[in-house]
């Protein structure tokens, strides 16, 4: 039986909960840990120390690894994503890279981005998507009342409803609910027009594709 591994931020309870619905195969989770007080540095640490986090699996046979933290990619950039992935011996899929791949398959170039991040990380995210060639027609921040990204995990599934309604009026090719720690299962609609996608949905799909390819 194929099994995948998932790396999730240490305080994030959402990834495991959503993957129970999104992944039809067995998976195991390792928590990424950082002692940094600032959210931005924690997110960078998660990515830069990914190889160390993988030691928690103890050499367990895994078909692929999913890195379930979109914001880390926003802060380190695509070149660092590719460097980290290339340095590992099994398929290592960043959530942001999985989103890029899914948007590419759909031919989506005009994007609406809804995120729960504090302003600096939200802006870094917009820069990441623009650098990847996407035209941002609409963006919105869901307020979490703190500069600490761990506050995201207190959101409920209704937080994105109002900005989703506003995003539709911009007529994007796709609406992205960015952030693996924001509950999105009730809102994702891959077959809608425009499709509503999430970081966790795209990562789960990419993991299954890696399993099938293996």
* pTM (predicted TM-score): 0.95
The tens digit of pLDDT for each residue in 106-129 reads 999 999 999 999 999 999 999 999
Residues 163 and 107 in one domain: yes
User: What is the pLDDT at residue 1?
Assistant: 61
Residues 86 and 118 in one domain: no
Residues 103 and 163 in one domain: yes
Residues 87 and 15 in one domain: yes
Residues 12 and 54 in one domain: yes
Q: What average pLDDT does range 173-200 have in this prediction?
A: 96
Residues 24 and 62 in one domain: yes
- What percent of the chain stands above pLDDT 70? 100
Residue keyed to tokens 């890029």 = 100
Structure tokens at 64: 């692929």
pLDDT tier for residue 143 given thresholds of 50, 70 and 90: confident
Strands (E), the chain: 3-9, 26-32, 65-67, 92-94, 110-115, 135-141, 174-177, 196-198
Q: What average pLDDT does range 85-109 have in this prediction?
A: 96
Decide which of 155 and 200 is more confident.
200
Decide which of 205 and 157 is more confident.
205
Residues 107 and 179 in one domain: yes
Residues 145 and 205 in one domain: no
User: What is the pLDDT at residue 107?
Assistant: 98
The tens digit of pLDDT for each residue in 44-57 reads 999 999 999 999 99
Residues 88 and 130 in one domain: no
Residues 188 and 208 in one domain: no
Residues 66 and 144 in one domain: no
pLDDT at 147 over 80: no
Instruction: Tell me the average pLDDT of the chain.
Output: 94
Provide the domain count of the chain.
Answer: 2
Q: What are phi and psi of 66, to 5 degrees?
A: -110, 130
> In sequence order, which residues have a C-beta less than 8 Å from that of residue 191 and are 6 or more positions away?
none
Residues 64 and 118 in one domain: no
Distance CA 49, CA 33 (A): 9
Q: Could you give the 3-state DSSP secondary structure of residue 121? A: helix
Domain housing 155: 98-198
| CATH code of the domain in which 126 resides | 3.40.50.1860
């Amino acid at each position: 039986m194929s099994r995948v591994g998932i790396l999730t931020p240490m305080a994030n309870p959402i990834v495991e909960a959503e993957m129970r619905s999104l992944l039809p195969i067995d998976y195991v989770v390792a928590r990424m840990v950082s002692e940094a007080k600032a959210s931005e540095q924690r997110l960078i640490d998660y990515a830069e120390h990914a190889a160390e986090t993988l030691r928690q699996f103890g050499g367990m046979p895994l078909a692929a690894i999913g890195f379930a933290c979109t914001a880390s990619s926003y802060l380190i950039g695509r070149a660092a994503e590719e460097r980290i992935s290339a340095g590992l011996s099994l398929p290592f899929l960043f959530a942001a890279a999985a989103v890029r791949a899914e948007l590419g398959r759909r031919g989506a170039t005009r994007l609406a981005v809804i995120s729960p991040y504090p302003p600096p990380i939200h802006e870094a995210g917009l820069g990441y998507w623009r650098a990847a060639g996407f035209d941002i027609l609409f963006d919105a921040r869901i307020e979490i009342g703190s500069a600490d990204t761990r506050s995201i995990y207190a959101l409920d599934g209704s937080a994105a409803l109002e900005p989703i309604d506003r995003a539709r009026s911009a007529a994007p090719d796709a609406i992205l609910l960015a952030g693996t720690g924001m509950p999105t299962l009730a809102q994702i609609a891959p077959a809608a027009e425009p499709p509503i996608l999430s970081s966790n949905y795209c990562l789960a799909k990419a993991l299954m594709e890696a399993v099938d390819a293996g």
